[in-house]
Structure 1
Amino acid sequence: MQTARTRKAETRRICVIGGSRYFGRLLVERLQAAGHEVTVINRGSGRPPAGVEHLVADRDDEAALVAALGERTFDVVIDQVCYTPVQAAIAARAFRGRARRYVMTSTIEVYDPATAGLPEPSRDVPVPESAVDPASWRVASDLPWHDAAYLESHYAEGKRQAEAVFTQDGGFAFAVVRSAHVLGGGALEFTGRLAHYVDRVLGGQPVAVHAEPLPTVFVHYAELAALLDWAATGTAFTGPLNACSGDPLDVYGLVEVIASRAGRTPVYETVAAGQPASPFSFDRHYAMSNARAEKEGFVFSRTSDWLPEAVGEALTARGR
Structure 2
Amino acid sequence: MLATIAAATSDVLVIGGTGLMGAPTAARLLEAGRRVVIMSRGKTQGQGTNGRRPTTPAGAEMLLCDRDDEDAFVAALCSPDCPRVIVDFTAMKPSQVQSVRRAHEKLPLAHYIFVSTNMAYPGGVERMDVSATDGRIAEKSARLGSASEAPCNYGGNKLKCEALLHRYAAAAPPLRSTVVRPPAVVGAGCDPRHKKLQRLWHEKLQRLVLGLPPLPETKACPPAERPGRRFRVACADDVAQVIARVVDRPPPPTHASAQRQDGGASEAYEAFNVASGGPQGYDLDDYVAALAAALGRPVPEVPEAPEMRNYEKQGVLDTTRAEEELGFVPTQMSEWMAATVAWHAPLLDGCS
TM-score of the superposed pair, with normalisation by structure 2:
0.72
User: CA, structure 1 residues 84+202, in 2 after alignment: closer, same or farther (shift >3 Å)?
Assistant: same
Q: 1:137 & 1:217 partners in 2: Cα distance?
A: 25
The residue number in structure 1 matching 2:273 is 242
Residue aligned with 2:33, SS: coil
- Does the alignment pair 1:32 with 2:24? no
User: CA, structure 1 residues 206+195, in 2 after alignment: closer, same or farther (shift >3 Å)?
Assistant: closer
> Which structure would you say has the larger RCO, counting Cα contacts within 8 Å and 6 or more residues apart?
1
Q: How many residues align?
A: 293
User: CA, structure 1 residues 280+307, in 2 after alignment: closer, same or farther (shift >3 Å)?
Assistant: farther
Counterpart contact for 2:242–2:322, Cα < 8 Å: no
| 1:161-240 superposed matches below 5 A | 161-169=160-168, 171-185=174-188, 188-190=189-191, 192-203=200-211, 205=213, 212-236=227-251, 238-240=269-271
Cα deviation, residue 258, structure 1: 2.2
| 1:67-78 superposed matches below 5 A | 67-69=75-77, 70-72=79-81, 74-78=83-87
- Does the alignment pair 1:278 with 2:308? yes
Cα deviation, residue 215, structure 1: 1.4
What does the per-residue CA deviation read over 1:33-65, in whole Å, with 9 as the maximum and x for residues that have no partner? 322122222222389545433222221222111
Deviates more, 1:290-299 or 1:67-76: 67-76
Q: 1:312 & 1:52 partners in 2: Cα distance?
A: 27
Q: 1:20 & 1:206 partners in 2: Cα distance?
A: 29
The residue number in structure 1 matching 2:41 is 43
Q: 1:316 & 1:105 partners in 2: Cα distance?
A: 28
Residue aligned with 1:269, SS: coil
Cα deviation, residue 169, structure 1: 2.0
What does the per-residue CA deviation read over 1:226-256, in whole Å, with 9 as the maximum and x for residues that have no partner? 2111111245574211001234112222112
Which residues of structure 2 form unaligned runs of 5+?
A: 1-7, 47-54, 195-199, 216-220, 252-266
- Letter of the 2:164 partner, please give it: V
| 1:103-182 superposed matches below 5 A | 103-113=113-123, 115-116=125-126, 124-134=134-144, 136-139=145-148, 154-169=153-168, 171-182=174-185
- Which protein is richer in strand relative to its size? 1
Deviates more, 1:249-258 or 1:309-318: 309-318
Q: Which of 220, 245, 252 matches 2:285?
A: 252
The residue number in structure 2 matching 1:148 is none
What does the per-residue CA deviation read over 1:160-184, in whole Å, with 9 as the maximum and x for residues that have no partner? 1111112212531110000122222
Residue aligned with 1:127, SS: coil
User: CA, structure 1 residues 287+94, in 2 after alignment: closer, same or farther (shift >3 Å)?
Assistant: same
User: CA, structure 1 residues 215+235, in 2 after alignment: closer, same or farther (shift >3 Å)?
Assistant: farther
Which residues of structure 1 form unaligned runs of 5+?
A: 1-9, 144-150
- Letter of the 1:196 partner, please give it: K
What does the per-residue CA deviation read over 1:83-102, in whole Å, with 9 as the maximum and x for residues that have no partner? 11111111121233331111
Q: 2:96 & 2:300 partners in 1: Cα distance?
A: 43
The residue number in structure 2 matching 1:298 is 327
Cα deviation, residue 118, structure 1: 12
Counterpart contact for 1:184–1:313, Cα < 8 Å: no
Q: 1:127 & 1:40 partners in 2: Cα distance?
A: 32
Counterpart contact for 1:177–1:241, Cα < 8 Å: yes
Q: 2:245 & 2:124 partners in 1: Cα distance?
A: 32
- Once the two structures are aligned, what percentage of the paired residues are identical? 23
Q: 1:200 & 1:118 partners in 2: Cα distance?
A: 24
Cα deviation, residue 265, structure 1: 3.9
Q: Which of 105, 109, 113 matches 1:99?
A: 109
Counterpart contact for 1:198–1:314, Cα < 8 Å: no
Residue aligned with 1:289, SS: coil
Q: 1:119 & 1:220 partners in 2: Cα distance?
A: 19
Residue aligned with 2:85, SS: strand
The residue number in structure 2 matching 1:7 is none
Deviates more, 1:288-297 or 1:262-271: 262-271
